[in-house]
Amino acid sequence: MQEDKRLANPLIVQGDSTLLLDVHAARADEARAAVMPFAELEKSPEHIHTYRITPLSLWNAAASGFSAEDVVRSLNEYSRYELPQGLLAGFTSVMERFGALRMRPDGDGLFLECKDAVVREEISAARSLKSILRGSENGFSLERKERGTVKWELIKLGWPVMDEAPLVSGEPLELSLRETGALSGLPFTLRDYQKEAASALLDGEAGSGYGVIALPCGSGKTLVGIALMAALKTNTLIVTANIMSVHQWMDELLDKTTLAAEQIAEFSGDSKAVAPVTIATYQILTWRRKKDGEFPHFNLFHARPWGLIIYDEVHLLPAPVFRVTAELQATRRLGLTATLIREDGAEDAVFSLVGTKRYDVPWKTLELKGWIAEAFCTEIRVFLPEKLKIPYAIAEKREKYRLASENPVKIEIVKQLIATHPDDNILVIGQYIRQLESAAVALNAPLITGKTSSAKRNVIYGAFKRGMSRVIVVSKVSNFAIDLPDASMIIQISGSFGSRQEEAQRLGRILRPKQRSSYFFTLVSRSTVEEDFSQKRRQFLVEQGYKYAVRHWDEV
């Protein structure tokens, strides 16, 4: 009887640390939630999803308080068969690496404690660290300015550092949260998970004061950062994705806190002001006159005695900012994101320089509690017109993708979807400007691209919010920081190849809580390379528990 019950479990655990999840099994959702803290989703076709347990996923679990025994216990609970031999020993050996190296203050410098003689020899032999570390009996001495560089280099060697060195307080700044919005006039209180997320960076001893918070789009990540600012009361530098996001941070700070306008500054292409709270974009910080020149705006990181740096959309952190972040390890830092997935595979750099994942909540959990909207995701596969089949067949791979993405049949299908959803407020999103211009003309809808002025964008957004128009055609500038809480439907007509980040961000545009469900449609040209990329793009959404239906247009 017990064996029959076990055979109904959804998980197959394999000896190479991959997990196969039968999505049709009764406990599939429970199993998905159980493995998410220590496993990464790799493949998500219709019936069996593949997860992989990696060193980084296990170190993140260890940093969150999980033990190897906890991991094995979860796997055993949902596994269909007996677990492979040696699993516990293998996980233990990896997870014990987190904590084997501890960085502590040592006079004017730092000391990297390493009690294992063999590990000390391995580190001593690392060419990248020879000029930085000075060996001793139980570890290595280093200068404080090398704190981040050492952590970054060591994680590349497979040795995460538990950083216990103290953090600077920064220059004090008095601010508190309001009970009623100064701009909106609406009552304001933090949600429970927002309070928990902010406090997660301040609770405990090791690693207190830095780390990453992963929350779904539309769940109020900005308010987590503001709550942390109110708790720390210190000068804060905020770095975010684009100028729209800069302005949204400014509006939220003025509305939700006691800060005055003169205490908040914008550091952008239009303004280079610095104040106790300064908000900049990654783009301005990484601007330089020549490709191999200096980054003139990096001095912003040292312009004031910052006590907190907030990296909004931390999964977008550019490599040059990683390098300057390595120099700022004594400053408290918060990374905010909906997904730690990076297309360049540099998640370990986020782990070592910004911090471990301190808090996350599954999208479905917040959906069930009503904090974000219920969303239905559907991929619609459409035929490629006869006149495009030969050009597609002879094109290079990149051109194949563009031809499939710009399939003109998609615009006709967009018209039909809009007609069959008369009560929805709709964003039509795409990658290619020529395609978007055609869609805007065909739909008689306004178009927003990177070249659209802020003034014109505000006019278009305002009309959408007031119900004067219900369809906007937007480029990838819509991936971040668009405050359209009433948007309830997205039709994605093209995307950035296989970017999982983009898929998550675009879905986030329609997840603000509302009195109706939201719909996310993706149009994909059938039997083309676009199908291959779309499978990767929906990977993150499936991991979060969204059921992603695949339909052919003649079946819809």
Least confident of 15-29, 265-279, 348-362, 509-523: 509-523
| Residues 246 and 339 both lie in one domain | yes
Whether the pLDDT of residue 499 is over 50: the answer is yes
Q: How far apart are the C-alpha atoms of 474 and 471, rounded to whole Å? A: 10
Q: What pLDDT is recorded for position 545? A: 60
| Residues 388 and 313 both lie in one domain | no
| Residues 69 and 200 both lie in one domain | no
SS (H, E, C) 282-293: HHHHCCCCCCCC
| Residues 457 and 483 both lie in one domain | yes
Which parts of 8-52 fold into alpha helices (H)?
28-35
Q: How far apart are the C-alpha atoms of 300 and 325, rounded to whole Å? A: 12
Phi, psi (5° rounding) for residue 381?
A: -95, 125
Q: What pLDDT is recorded for position 7? A: 80
Mean pLDDT, rounded, for 279-299: 89
| Residues 458 and 546 both lie in one domain | yes
* pTM of the model as a whole: 0.78
Q: What pLDDT is recorded for position 556? A: 47
Q: What pLDDT is recorded for position 312? A: 92
The answer to whether 214 and 256 have CB atoms below 8 angstroms apart is no
Q: What pLDDT is recorded for position 95? A: 95
What token pair was written down for 93?
A: 């050996």
Q: What pLDDT is recorded for position 208? A: 66
Average pLDDT, the chain: 87
Encode pLDDT of 65-118 as tens digits.
Answer: 899 999 999 999 999 999 998 888 999 999 999 999 999 999 999 999 999 999
Give me the CATH number covering residue 548: 3.40.50.300
| Residues 344 and 436 both lie in one domain | no
Which of 340, 361, 382 lies at the terminal end of a domain, its last residue? 361
Q: What pLDDT is recorded for position 1? A: 45
Whether the pLDDT of residue 180 is over 50: the answer is yes
How much of the chain, in percent, has pLDDT values that exceed 70? 90
Judge whether 419 lies within some domain: yes
In which domain, by residue range, is 17 found? 2-95
| Residues 227 and 335 both lie in one domain | yes
Query: 10 Å Cβ neighbour count for 269?
Result: 11
Whether the pLDDT of residue 332 is over 70: the answer is yes
Smallest CA-to-CA distance from 497 within 399, 411, 358 is with 399
| Residues 199 and 142 both lie in one domain | no
| Residues 406 and 541 both lie in one domain | yes
Q: What pLDDT is recorded for position 338? A: 78
Judge whether 488 lies within some domain: yes
Whether the pLDDT of residue 500 is over 80: the answer is no
The answer to whether 542 and 49 have CB atoms below 8 angstroms apart is yes
Q: What pLDDT is recorded for position 235? A: 97
Which of 305, 330, 361 lies at the terminal end of a domain, its last residue? 361
Encode pLDDT of 465-487 as tens digits.
Answer: 888 899 999 987 765 556 666 78
| Residues 227 and 281 both lie in one domain | yes
The answer to whether 229 and 237 have CB atoms below 8 angstroms apart is no
Judge whether 529 lies within some domain: yes
Q: How many domains does the chain have?
A: 4
Smallest CA-to-CA distance from 162 within 224, 200, 110, 124 is with 110
Judge whether 187 lies within some domain: no
Least confident of 164-178, 270-284, 427-441, 490-504: 490-504
The model's confidence at residue 205, banded by pLDDT at 50, 70 and 90, is very low
| Residues 352 and 376 both lie in one domain | no
The model's confidence at residue 238, banded by pLDDT at 50, 70 and 90, is very high
Q: What pLDDT is recorded for position 308? A: 96
The model's confidence at residue 48, banded by pLDDT at 50, 70 and 90, is confident
Which of 361, 376, 407 lies at the terminal end of a domain, its last residue? 361
Whether the pLDDT of residue 162 is over 60: the answer is yes
Q: How far apart are the C-alpha atoms of 115 and 505, rounded to whole Å? A: 44
Q: What pLDDT is recorded for position 183? A: 87
Q: How far apart are the C-alpha atoms of 48 and 80, rounded to whole Å? A: 14
Encode pLDDT of 402-461 as tens digits.
Answer: 999 999 999 999 999 999 999 999 999 998 999 999 999 999 999 998 888 878 888 998
Judge whether 399 lies within some domain: yes
| Residues 150 and 26 both lie in one domain | no
Judge whether 181 lies within some domain: no
Whether the pLDDT of residue 380 is over 80: the answer is yes
Which parts of 377-475 fold into alpha helices (H)?
386-394, 397-405, 409-419, 433-443, 454-465
Mean pLDDT, rounded, for 347-375: 82
Q: How far apart are the C-alpha atoms of 223 and 134, rounded to whole Å? A: 43
